[in-house]
Structure 1
Amino acid sequence: MSSISMRRASGSVIVPPPRAALVRAAVGPVATSPRLPAWPLLALMYGFPLFWVTGLSLFAPLILGGTMAVFLVLRGSVRTTPAVLCWFAFLLWVGVCAVSVTGFMQLVGFGQRAADLLAVGIAMLYYVNARESVSARQVLTGFTVLWSTVIVLGVLATQFPDVRITTPLAQVIPGSLMGNELVRELVTPRLAEVQDPWGAEQPFVRPAAPFPYTNSWGMAYALLTPLMVLVWTRLRTWKGRVLLGIALVVSIYPAAQTSNRGMLLALAMFALFVAGRFVLAGHLKAGLGVVGLLTTAGAAAAAAGVFEAIAERQEVSHTTDGRGRIYQATFEKVLESPVVGWATPGMDPSIGIALGTQGYAWTLLYSYGFIGLMLFYLVLARVLLSSWTLREPAAYVLQGLVATVGCSIWFYGLGVTQCLILLLSAGMLSRATVDGGIDHG
């Protein structure tokens, strides 16, 4: 009689070994992929203040993005998600649109934008693959560093509006590159945009640092501030909550000084989306709480004279009419090259402004044609659809950020930092969809 039959006869129960154990017994220990280091990704956010003050913000995403790409290649086993694949499909189309480049300086501008898009795409891919070393909590902490930098410099801009910093990089950069307006603004950054339109009683001091323009400041504020409310709810100590709460109140002052309509509209859209997600998930009180917070913020803005300042600036600047003419001229030019676009925004001598610069959707449309714009929106839609089944407040806030970007890029631009915020938020949602939830360290 066999040993198995003997054990059955004695009344014992045979439990076969798990299949995984049989595989290990047959082939030996299973090799695991090397752990990706956290520092290249976290340095993009934690090192942001240093990059700004040294002038390295122009090159840091490329250097750190390249570093992350090397680590991914060395590790070998790379996991992707549908959103990541959609982003790299968009990048592939951006490469196709290089056929529209007509000169060396245009090639430099096209290459810079394409490299930035590639760098932030690699950052998203890196986060998706670095689950053992980079948590969602660490990324949210990095967002806190970015937001704090924006607020501190915003406050300083209101007090020292005429200050312009000459960074160490400005001392060594070639003069030919200094002729580029964006490069010049990055290596000799100003704290504020001071606008003195005809008819204004006094100049408008609008915070800009750590970005070249006030609208970029407003976009960063609109995306990051709701995330700071999320961070506040996750803090484990009352001291941390008090400090962040004070910072949120203080942030209202530089935000109000921007007199930025788009920023307020983006914040309202963000809040309404998150409130709707809570209600759809059956959390009516939480949804009403978000609406109440939005109402309180709106009342505070009105009491602080924010809406009055916006109306006053509109009376003398006429930005709405001007934007309308720019959008019309941009669309007419796009129709001349609707498939591959014009590679980079281009100056219109009759208007005196580069077409494709008054909103990132127009940049995509002008530079990469209708296909480029649709592929970008495909990324946003894929992130939202694939993460819709997540049932946690952090997911609702991150989805709100993605949805807000989809609406606000028709009147707001996206710099490399804003794109990084978007794609890391998309990466957190993508990884959570695969892993079953957003980790918090």
Structure 2
Amino acid sequence: MSTAHVRDVTVTISLERRTHESHHDNMSVAHYFAFSLAIIILGGWCFVWFMHILAIIYGKYRLHHPIPPPSPEDLQGVSIIKPLVGVDPNLYFNLESFFTTVYPSFELLFCLQDESDPALMVVKALMEKYPKVDAKIFIGVKYVGPNGKVNNMCKAYEAAKYDLIVISDSSILMNPDTLMDMMSFMKPDVGLVLQMPYSCNRKGFAAVYEKVYFGTFQSRNCLSANSVGINCSTGMSCLFRKDVLEKSGGLAPLGKYLAEDYFISENIRKEGYKTVLCSQPAQQNSGHYSMSHFHQRLIRWSQLRISLLPHLILFEPLSECMLMGVVASWAAEYIFGISSMGFFLMHVLVWFLFDYTLITCVENGPLPFSKFEFLVAWMLREVLSIWLTIQSHKTSIVQWRHKKYKVLWGGTIEEIV
């Protein structure tokens, strides 16, 4: 064999060896990357389950377990602000529940944009029915920014005679002792007391679907977040200290945000005060409800959350049952060789049972609908959650009541005329 031929064979073997080593190195890098990703996914999976369990434990500890109220001489007066726009079929009953509040000293401040609003007649009728209740009407807005709700409330907020303020949406139905329950949690180190959003019993599948959302996904996030001191404030029904909010400028500076409730809580927390949940969830009792209308609300809330906390673009979808189940199933099979289908089915089953336990805790008893209705509503919500998230990413335009806004990073908004 010639020297040249030997040289060629040697070079060929060397090239083949290098190619094999390069391929092996690439496989090693891919393996280590996939292994690391699987470990991260399973870690996130465990964290989500921890938050789920924490929500159930904290819900059983906090909800429907009122603490003793302050002594009568320590009960401070409360100004309740009710921003109103238009008439809902249940508006009369919702507002009447505030007139029948059992509390030593409070005032009701109703805010309307103009005298032509039909809600004005409802308020006047209730004021005639309950003449002993301290109630006032404020007509006209004070423009402080694009947020119409803040503009509507400013006059009442500035005229409130008590230092403790409740902002309550028109759709909220109040129990006679709800204000007393909220005040029981207003300790010296607490700046804001929140009612966790829930909903009343109403007819139709849309009402069941809405109740399942608030009793599972919303409750899980709100309870677990509040238990570790994370801001989960919503403006449906909250009690706060006006003098503390005034340190950051009061209500008016929040007119540039659509999620003014979040920033009320943030400003109070910055002053060193806690935000806590009371024992009674907020009972939403809107007479206008449908699947499409509720989906629009979910999309709007998702847009607002993402604008305030951009990391939720990734983490929020991964906290949902179905998507988390899919990625965790792959990770479990990759690392432990567990059947991905079996893992996924067990994941969904246990998640379903945990959610059922959580909603019965929020409901404080048996559900007002069948287990089959719960199953259908739960499955529909879980399957549609990814689609709703995608819809929220399609545009930065938010429709709220009769106005449109462009949501900017940081939560600020621009009204679209």
Query: Do they superpose with TM above 0.5?
Result: no
Q: Which has the higher helix share?
A: 1
TM-score by length of 1: 0.25
TM-score by length of 2: 0.26
Q: Which has the higher strand share?
A: 2
